[in-house]
Structure 1
Amino acid sequence: MSERTAITVDVVSDVVCPWCYLGQKRLEKAVESLEEIDVVTRWRPFQLDPTIPPGGRDRKQYMLAKFGSEERIRQIHARIEPLGEAEGIDFAFDKIKVSPNTLDAHRVIRWAMADGPEVQNRLVKRLFALYFEEGANIGDHAVLANAATDAGMDAAVVEAMLAGDADRNAVEEEAATASRMGITGVPCFLLEGRYAVMGAQETEALKGAIAQIADAKRRGEMDEVR
């Protein structure tokens, strides 16, 4: 029987990024297929647009301002919808009415890690589904508290912490650190905190990268990985 190896994957992402949702699904499949590697996934914050006010913006107007026309928006959605379908995602962009500020969502994701990576994973998956498949406003505190409950967290504690500024600065600083590291787009997968895989790579690419790092770690050859 082969010796098991533990690998940490830090995923820098934003829960309003459709490519990050694809990345989550593909990473999950890659991890499930790597039976001899113990992969611990940790979700790290990134805000695609931190200038959105706490109450969010009207989604349609926000997208028009960003991309210029409804035709351009339709083209973007048409490109990503079949990719989502292939991963079991039913993108329902028309249901999304609010483009939220995601700072509070990232605060809850940070707190979820205190209950363990599995709880954090469940929360992130739920937030992606809420936003992209159900059109929920994931900047709303009630929505976040319900998502926390679904993930196995204590909703009362989450609600109380959201009402204050707990970890607001810590999340903002962590997101700023990602930018200083040169991360300008997400998702970004950091393997063992040292090797970056950029973008929503295919499942096989993620699987191969994790397997390569695990093999190098077993051999004590991490610095030789390319």
Structure 2
Amino acid sequence: MVSSHPLRLDVVSDVVCPWCYIGKRRLERALALVPDVPVAVSWYPFLLNAWVPREGMAREDYLVAKFGSVEAYRDIANRVVEAAAQEGLQYNPERVQRQPNTLDCHRLIHWAGASDAAAAMTQRLMELYFRDGGDLTERDVLVQAAADVGLDADETRRRLATDEDIDLIEAQAAEASQKGISGVPTYVLAARYAISGAQPPEQLAAAFRQVAAEADAG
């Protein structure tokens, strides 16, 4: 039976989080498993590496700072590459040369939400980073990504050159941390239940159906 009210689903993620990349694909598969459950998806920021400068930093320096060495990340990366491939996704860590601060990426996602393109914007940025090794610190790269999902390129360039919505994104990311979200992706259902991690589609689908049924039952 079709649910009478859309289930609110808030997705907290970051575009440079590999498990968010995988989790987004699993979320899409989960939603396809429950076509009778309407789900209203919103995207919220998590600044996985808020300490990275706004202009970004060399990927090698980042890996040393976060994991101790480039070699220490290699085994982790191999596992993620395999998990991504199982979902039909490409992760090419050797192509990534620049580690971005994702504040501007989250601004793009927020702006894309006005035209219901937040998910598409998220996907485009993730593809650029994980598949193509794109430099998300480059203004031209961000503007082209926005244009790819239907945003006006000139308007996006103008807005990126300002401080528009920086405070909003930082406040939303801080709120997620204050609510106890320390890892992503995190899926918040009906503003009440949180599911952390890139869970299998079947588990997500079962949770969506259960929470939607509870909401319908009052």
Q: Are the counterparts in 1 of residues 14 and 102 from structure 2 also a CA contact under 8 Å?
A: yes
Structure 1 regions of 5+ residues with no counterpart?
Answer: 221-226
1:174 aligns with 2:172: yes
Tell me the residue number matched to 1:127.
Answer: 125
| Further displaced range: 33-42 or 173-182 | 33-42
After superposing on structure 2, the runs of 4+ consecutive aligned residues of structure 1 that deviate more than 2 Å are: 1-5
Q: Are the counterparts in 2 of residues 4 and 36 from structure 1 also a CA contact under 8 Å?
A: no
Q: Are the counterparts in 1 of residues 2 and 37 from structure 2 also a CA contact under 8 Å?
A: no
User: Aligned with 2:39: secondary structure?
Assistant: strand
Q: Are the counterparts in 2 of residues 105 and 139 from structure 1 also a CA contact under 8 Å?
A: no
Query: Taking structure 2 as the reference length, what is the TM-score of the superposition?
Result: 0.96
Q: CA deviation at 1:2?
A: 4.1
Tell me the residue number matched to 1:22.
Answer: 22
Distance 1:195 1:2 in 2: 21
Tell me the residue number matched to 1:57.
Answer: 57
Q: CA deviation at 1:135?
A: 0.3
> CA deviation digits over 1:81-115, x for unaligned, max 9?
11101111111000000000100001111111111
The share of aligned pairs that are identical, in percent, is 41
Distance 2:120 2:38 in 1: 17
Distance 1:197 1:2 in 2: 23
Distance 2:79 2:164 in 1: 38
Summarize the Cα distance change of 1:182–1:3 in structure 2 as closer, same or farther, 3 Å threshold: closer
Tell me the residue number matched to 2:46.
Answer: 46
1:165 aligns with 2:163: yes
Select which of 111, 132, 137 maps to 2:135: 137
> CA deviation digits over 1:126-157, x for unaligned, max 9?
11100000000112221111111111111211
Tell me the residue number matched to 2:107.
Answer: 107
Tell me the residue number matched to 1:200.
Answer: 198
Structure 2 regions of 5+ residues with no counterpart?
Answer: none
Q: CA deviation at 1:65?
A: 2.2
Summarize the Cα distance change of 1:11–1:3 in structure 2 as closer, same or farther, 3 Å threshold: closer
Q: CA deviation at 1:68?
A: 1.6
> CA deviation digits over 1:133-185, x for unaligned, max 9?
00001122211111111111112111111010000111101101111111111
Q: CA deviation at 1:4?
A: 4.8
Select which of 208, 211, 217 maps to 1:210: 208
Q: CA deviation at 1:39?
A: 1.4
